[in-house]
Chains A and B, each alone.
Chain A
Amino acid sequence: MKALTFRGGVHPRYNKDRTAGVKTALLAPPNEVVIPMTQHIGAPAKPVVEAGAQVLVGQVVGEPVGFVSAFIHSSVSGKVKAVEPRPSMSGVPAMSVVIENDSQDSAAPMKGRGENWGKASKDELKELVRRGGLVGMGGAAFPTHVKLSPPPDKGIDTVILNGAECEPFLTSDHRLMLERPKAVVEGCRIAMAILGAAQGVIGIEANKLDAIGAMTEAVKGTSIRVQPLEIKYPQGAEKQLIDAILGREVPSGGLPMDARVVVQNVGTAAAIADAVIDGKPLYERVVTVTGSAIKEAKNLIVRVGTPVTHIVEACGGVSGELGKLICGGPMMGNAQHTDLVPVTKGTSGLLFLCPAEVDTRPADPCIRCGRCVRACPMRLMPTELAKLSAVGRTSESEAFGILDCIECGSCSYECPSRLPLVQEIRLGKSAIHAARRKQSKK
């Protein structure tokens, strides 16, 4: 089958060889986990345990505040040591539940619907997803039950599973599709049942032929098909994925549901299956640990709240000096100032770069070469938007579509003058959003 794609994009070196063939291994939980209440987009969860309390694996320790929020569960059994702000991967300290692991792994009772989930109502299925604390596992961590609750008039006809994994270095989705293809398909079927969508498509970049094979085998007998995609970044970006597979453009300012589609990451799909069939909440996930500054690169199943330091130890330590620690991939991941931060539900990878790979060269002037324009998958003019942002001309940048930017970083990647284009655009966008919030408060 022909590999499909979108217009624009870039071809960074993928660097996936080191972990693509490495079977996922269980990482023994650490002696202490730090579970932040902000692991998702939306309102932070409210801690519902106090210091001194005994908790079990899978027990709720944080409850959602409002609709766009998520349940948080303990990932170990043991005693709550503290409920206090701790460093988090978002860069600012987050209220966290610190739990001392008693190494018993005593699990809270889990109650799913079993294999015959088809008999359950849509609301019941959705509630199981919500109770499982599910969020998008590709990195953005948007609460899954919200995505599965579009207004009925949207007429969702397709569920797309994102198995593109276009971020360089990351292989966690790749391994998941190889090792748990059935769970991915079941999760997709459950999402289709909740949404009443007739069609399911699993999009996978053509560099993962084994995953395409495994998934093609697993979807036999269902109304789900596997679609190979061209190897190009950001192939896994929601809007680009929908455009490539269905030829539909999500309207400017709209959401995928406005194109009658809901997109889920393949990891989220497997988590949906776990939550609905086994009643297992989201307290562990696959994390790719790689980069030239880590001794042993691995794909690990890691409990949420495991500090990075514990993972570094399990991977043989840092080789030489650590230049940069990135949570996620190199194109959209967040650089961390410390390795004391814990893994969350949205942590798809940990990337350890050596000092030589950290580019601190100063930028040259813009020469108007237009490479950023050709790279932009949203067909925007990054150099113009960045210039307008830098001088605070927000009404013009808004008119030129700055809010349509998906912040994929293709422009900055491609710029021969190493200008911080997407970085300026981010500042411009946040200035516009801040002004709007101020306006609505008045």
Chain B
Amino acid sequence: MDKKLFVSSSPHVHGQVSTPAIMWTVVLSLLPATLWSFYLFGLPAVTVVLGTVALTAALEAISNKVAGGPLALRDGSAVLTGLLLALTLPPGLPLWMCGAGAFVSVVVAKAFFGGLGQNLFNPAMTGRVFLLIAFPAAMTKWLVPRGTGESLLGHPVTAYDTAGKLVELTSAKVDAITAATPLGLLCEKGAGAVAAIQNSPDLFIGQLNGSLGETSAAFLLLGGLFLLVRRIITWHIPVAYIGTVAVIAAITHAVDPAQYASVAFHVFTGGLMIGAFFMATDYVTSPMYPMGKLIFGVGCGVLTMVIRLWGGYPEGVSFAVLLLNACVPIIDNATRPKKFGLTKLAAA
């Protein structure tokens, strides 16, 4: 044989999972919640989601070009970041603000750190927190779902009026009503203001006003379980995170139900579901080892509840995740698993 054969170091076969496939699977898992937001909020939601995704992808492609690569998306990570960012925004946010958020997400939080795999902070969360601080008014202007009073899944659509009273929307054809979110009310007026809905299935199914993808705990849970079943994520972070929130809510609610809302309220409102299943589990910005993941999840849960119950902001998920992101290197350092061969010999 004259031709030299192709030589490489073993292994010579490779598993089927690829990085782009992982990214697209996560995108897929977010589709039910995304479509639900389209249904709830209509065109303003579609504009925010498609606009943010397109801008994020474009900025990532440009960043790649500037970094010396082709003007293209290497994987699905930019689309995923764009979608995650969009789902944390209120429906109807002006497109240019979405673009500013996208810029902070993929250029400042990601490309500046060296691109995929190098960023310390979750890009989508960084983008959202930037927008929240830069444009607090626009970021807390919440559209009321549907704008009409028709019934969803047998439940009348509900929202809060400006006085914090729960109202059923029965008037036909309203284009846009804005009102506070349940967590906003809790922050301003205490648990009494949300007493009527704090154990309502609406919180779980998601017919209340809020950020696009935060409304439906049910669809986010569905997506999260899909990721668990497909082994894209492990149970450690979501269970530790949501569990911690639940425990703290249970204790505080038991101590003073007038001031502190119920477990169901805290678990199913705000950004907890999307945060616990999709933000805190971001591979790049979360710990790599099981024990570290548990510590990370508990830390996120504690911080989220501290901000929700005693902080100035109504919601603490994005701040909690970002602060814990900063702790990941030291968590990883402290939780490396014990290697094979340091245990078990004497016992046998």
* Contact residues of A between 40 and 79, Cβ < 8 Å to B: none
Closest beta carbon of chain A to B179's beta carbon, Å: 39
- CB within 8 A of B10: which of A332, A357, A401? A332
Is the Cβ of A404 less than 8 Å from the Cβ of B5? no
**Nearest A residue to B11 by beta-carbon distance?**
A409
Is the Cβ of A337 less than 8 Å from the Cβ of B4? yes
**At the interface, is chain A mostly helix, strand, loop or mixed?**
loop
**Nearest A residue to B2 by beta-carbon distance?**
A338
Is the Cβ of B288 less than 8 Å from the Cβ of A337? no
Task: Give the number of A-B contacts (CB < 8 Å).
Answer: 169
Of B96-104, B152-160, B332-340, which stretch is located at the interface?
B332-340
B 183-213 binary contact with A (CB < 8 Å = 1; else 0): 0000000000000000000000000000000
Is the Cβ of B21 less than 8 Å from the Cβ of A373? no
Number of residues on chain B facing chain A (CB within 8 A): 43
Q: Which residues of B contact A366 (CB under 8 A)?
A: 117
- CB within 8 A of B288: which of A246, A333, A370? A370
Q: Which residues of B contact A423 (CB under 8 A)?
A: 9
A335 close to B (CB within 8 Å): yes
Is the Cβ of A400 less than 8 Å from the Cβ of B15? no
Known: A247-B348, A413-B11. A338 touches B340 (CB 8 A): no
> A12, A309, A332, A379 — which one has the most chain B CB atoms within 10 A of its CB?
A379
**Nearest A residue to B118 by beta-carbon distance?**
A365
Closest beta carbon of chain B to A119's beta carbon, Å: 34
**Nearest A residue to B328 by beta-carbon distance?**
A368
Of A174-182, A194-202, A321-329, which stretch is located at the interface?
A321-329
B116 close to A (CB within 8 Å): yes
B 250-293 binary contact with A (CB < 8 Å = 1; else 0): 00000000000000000000000000000000011010110000
Is the Cβ of A380 less than 8 Å from the Cβ of B339? yes
* Contact residues of B between 325 and 348, Cβ < 8 Å to A: 336-345, 347-348
Is the Cβ of A414 less than 8 Å from the Cβ of B15? yes
Is the Cβ of B340 less than 8 Å from the Cβ of A404? yes
* Contact residues of B between 1 and 39, Cβ < 8 Å to A: 1, 4-15, 17-22
**At the interface, is chain B mostly helix, strand, loop or mixed?**
loop
Is the Cβ of A323 less than 8 Å from the Cβ of B10? no
Known: A367-B117, A378-B339. A338 touches B12 (CB 8 A): no
Q: Which residues of A contact B342 (CB under 8 A)?
A: 249, 251-252
Is the Cβ of A249 less than 8 Å from the Cβ of B22? no
B149 close to A (CB within 8 Å): no
Q: Which residues of B contact A379 (CB under 8 A)?
A: 337-340
Is the Cβ of A335 less than 8 Å from the Cβ of B338? no
Is the Cβ of A239 less than 8 Å from the Cβ of B15? no
B74 close to A (CB within 8 Å): yes
Known: A247-B348, A332-B10. A367 touches B339 (CB 8 A): no
Is the Cβ of B15 less than 8 Å from the Cβ of A337? no
* Contact residues of A between 367 and 423, Cβ < 8 Å to B: 367-371, 373, 377-381, 383, 400-401, 404, 409, 412-418, 420, 422-423
Is the Cβ of A336 less than 8 Å from the Cβ of B283? no
In the bound assembly, the distance between CA atoms of A422 and B13 in angstroms comes to 13
Is the Cβ of B1 less than 8 Å from the Cβ of A324? no
A16 close to B (CB within 8 Å): no
Is the Cβ of A325 less than 8 Å from the Cβ of B5? yes
With A365-B117, A413-B13 given, can you name 9 additional A-B contacts, CB distance below 8 Å? A12-B15, A239-B340, A323-B5, A335-B6, A337-B5, A338-B1, A339-B1, A340-B1, A380-B339
Show 25 residue pairs from A and B whose CB-CB distance is below 8 angstroms, ordered by the A residue: A247-B348, A248-B348, A249-B340, A249-B345, A252-B339, A252-B341, A254-B341, A309-B1, A324-B12, A331-B10, A331-B12, A339-B5, A357-B13, A368-B283, A370-B289, A413-B14, A413-B15, A414-B17, A416-B17, A416-B19, A417-B18, A420-B9, A422-B9, A422-B11, A423-B9
